[in-house]
Amino acid sequence: MTHSALRAQGVEHSNYGVITSVRGSVIDARFDDGLPPIYTLLHAGKEPRVAIEVLMQLDARHVRGIALNPTQGLARGTAVEDTGGPLKVPVGKGILSRMFDVFGNAIDRQPAPTDVEWRTIHRDPPSLGSRSTKSEVFETGIKVIDVLVPLERGGKAGLFGGAGVGKTVLLTEMIHNMVGHQKGVSMFCGIGERCREGEELYHDMKEAGVLPHMVMLFGQMNEPPGARFRVGLAALTMAEYFRDDEHRDVLLLIDNIFRFIQAGMEVSGLMGHMPSRLGYQPTMGTELSGLEERIANTDKGAITSIQAVYVPADDMTDPAAVHAFSHLSASIVLSRKRASEGLYPAIDLLKSNSKMATRAIIGERHYLLAQEIRKTLAQYEALKDIIAMLGMEQLSPDDRSVVGRARRLERFLTQPFFTTEAFTGIKGKDVSLEDAIDGCERILKDEFKDFPESAFYMIGSIDEARDKAKAAQPASPAGSGPKPNGPTKPQTAGHLIPKVQQGADVH
């Protein structure tokens, strides 16, 4: 950041020190006139300046900090400047439709925003007295989420899954749908993910005409751990402005919260701290809480957060996944098995859950339907081993009906996405909660028991199944009715599931 930019923020340049040690991103400096407090931002080197955040006071004259950008050119004896305050980012109406890095610099090749003020990224969460206690459902337009895992307005939802099961695709689809539904502000924060996806998201949002209501902040894979560790707090500071000053609802999307924990682990290791379980930092719980507790629903507005959570080796007992679970009001677990069967979104219908799925919040009809769907799917899961060994003909008529309902429900809860149209060639669908509930109820009542399972795959509302079944129906002799759907011998997944178009780039 330039001296003129610092002066615009009211920063005085009075306290100077000298670098005594450079070890990668870890910088030690000596200050004789006054020791900078923790979280103070220091600047060293020539343009572009190296930004250093103080994390430790070693003694009365020495501090240790972590560099937030590359440290090439730094050496012992280099002068280091105390900026007099912590890292700050711009807030205000001028940041809408723009892309920023962790320092608040515009990275969309446009002039720096005007009509903004600069605020520190280290802020306290809202007080308990100012928080709202009202619970409201946040509709997404995605059938499986709205029916089985309803999200909370002002809550935190996590998308859990390993590599390549569809976290980023689901996140971008939610942005697409929700910007159309909501009149608030969307904030996208990329932590340690691919630069390519950020660039594609920017152009997609621009083409969709929703960019004027969005702000994007990135600290990607190519940046040092210090920048990735602070970009989440920077995004929250911007989101808090719209909630507290403009009294607007904010949708905060974080891709990926695991990378925040991972960056903290790297910083902790670089600072020489003893690691905890599986190499994670001993302060992981405190650091994650400091971020998550600032995401809250207050009497002025709400910050609703949806966070992708990478699960290392698909192990849900990993400490990072366990700590993330504890802060969430809804957990959407993505299944590699469902993805391999072509059932997208690949959400595990039995492991995913939401604290909103109660009678008092979503109503009696919706609650009982969700329970019946889970019961049907659980019964089918228990029967799978028998089907695999002995075949469908060994099941009782009642069990065969359960299997048929479960398989139709699984396929009905798939959905073509707007963000994957270019890969699949199938037009995206936005389905209302009422249509999704109606479709599930009619399937459970066996209204469509004579329809082929393929008629329910990748459709929007249930009425599309009739059109799809008619289109697939071969010409039959007069008087012959539709064939019953119950298979008479064991069939492999390849026989039962329509092939997904090749070339779909599902992340």
- Among 22-36, 282-296, 353-367, 483-497, which stretch is predicted with the lowest mean pLDDT? 483-497
How many Å apart are CA 360 and CA 151, to the nearest integer? 15
Are 43 and 83 spatial neighbours (Cβ–Cβ below 8 Å)?
yes
Active-site position among 193, 287, 292, 453: 193
> pLDDT per residue over 376-430, tens digit each?
999 999 999 999 998 888 899 999 999 999 999 999 999 999 888 888 889 999 9
Across the range 7-31, mean pLDDT stands at 80
Which phi-psi region, left, alpha or beta, contains residue 459 (left: φ > 0; alpha: ψ -120 to 50)? beta
Give the residue extent of every domain in the chain: 3-86, 90-360, 364-474+485-490
Q: What is the mean pLDDT of the chain?
A: 87
- Among 193-202, 331-340, 440-449, 462-471, which stretch is predicted with the lowest mean pLDDT? 193-202
- Give the 3-state secondary structure of residue 30: strand
Q: How confident is the model at residue 477 (pLDDT cuts 50, 70, 90)?
A: very low
Residues 6+ apart with CB under 8 A from 153: 136, 137, 138, 249, 297, 302, 304
Check residue 63 and give its pLDDT.
Answer: 96
Across the range 238-254, mean pLDDT stands at 92
- Give the 3-state secondary structure of residue 186: strand
Are 420 and 428 spatial neighbours (Cβ–Cβ below 8 Å)?
yes
Active site residue 193: yes
Q: What does CATH list as the number for 364-474+485-490? A: 1.10.1140.10
The candidate with the shortest Cα–Cα distance to 167, out of 256, 230, 81, is: 256
Across the range 303-308, mean pLDDT stands at 91
Check residue 496 and give its pLDDT.
Answer: 39
- Among 3-7, 185-189, 289-293, 473-477, which stretch is predicted with the lowest mean pLDDT? 3-7
Across the range 38-48, mean pLDDT stands at 91
> pLDDT per residue over 422-442, tens digit each?
888 899 999 999 999 999 999
The candidate with the shortest Cα–Cα distance to 81, out of 138, 18, 141, 124, is: 18
Check residue 10 and give its pLDDT.
Answer: 46
Active-site position among 119, 153, 167, 400: 167
Check residue 474 and give its pLDDT.
Answer: 66
Are 86 and 44 spatial neighbours (Cβ–Cβ below 8 Å)?
no
Residues 6+ apart with CB under 8 A from 120: 85, 86, 87, 88, 237
Q: What does CATH list as the number for 3-86? A: 2.40.10.170
DSSP, residue by residue, 425-448: --------HHHHHHHHHHHHTTTT
Residue 502 has pLDDT above 80, yes or no: no
Cα distances (angstroms) measured from residue 358 to each of 227, 420, 444: 40, 33, 20
Across the range 3-11, mean pLDDT stands at 44
Active-site position among 194, 206, 300, 355: 194
Across the range 273-287, mean pLDDT stands at 91
**φ, ψ (nearest 5 deg) of residue 24:** 65, -120
Across the range 341-370, mean pLDDT stands at 94
Across the range 261-274, mean pLDDT stands at 93
Residue 8 has pLDDT above 60, yes or no: no
Q: How confident is the model at residue 73 (pLDDT cuts 50, 70, 90)?
A: confident
Check residue 314 and give its pLDDT.
Answer: 87
How many Å apart are CA 484 and CA 499, to the nearest integer? 22
Q: How confident is the model at residue 197 (pLDDT cuts 50, 70, 90)?
A: confident
Check residue 120 and give its pLDDT.
Answer: 96
**φ, ψ (nearest 5 deg) of residue 94:** -70, -15
| Residues facing residue 138 across a β-bridge | 151
Check residue 182 and give its pLDDT.
Answer: 63
Q: Say what the pTM is.
A: 0.82
Across the range 276-291, mean pLDDT stands at 92
Residues 172-183, buried b or exposed e (16+ Cβ, 10 A)? Answer: bbbbbbbbeebe
| Residues facing residue 100 across a β-bridge | 106, 217
Active site residue 292: no
DSSP, residue by residue, 32-81: SS-PPPTTEEEEESSSSPEEEEEEEE-SSSEEEEEESS--TT--TT-EEE
Check residue 179 and give its pLDDT.
Answer: 67
Check residue 175 and give its pLDDT.
Answer: 80
Q: Domain 90-360 belongs to what architecture?
A: 3-Layer(aba) Sandwich (3.40)
Residue 486 has pLDDT above 80, yes or no: no
> pLDDT per residue over 97-155, tens digit each?
999 999 999 999 999 998 899 999 999 999 988 888 788 888 889 999 999 999 988 88
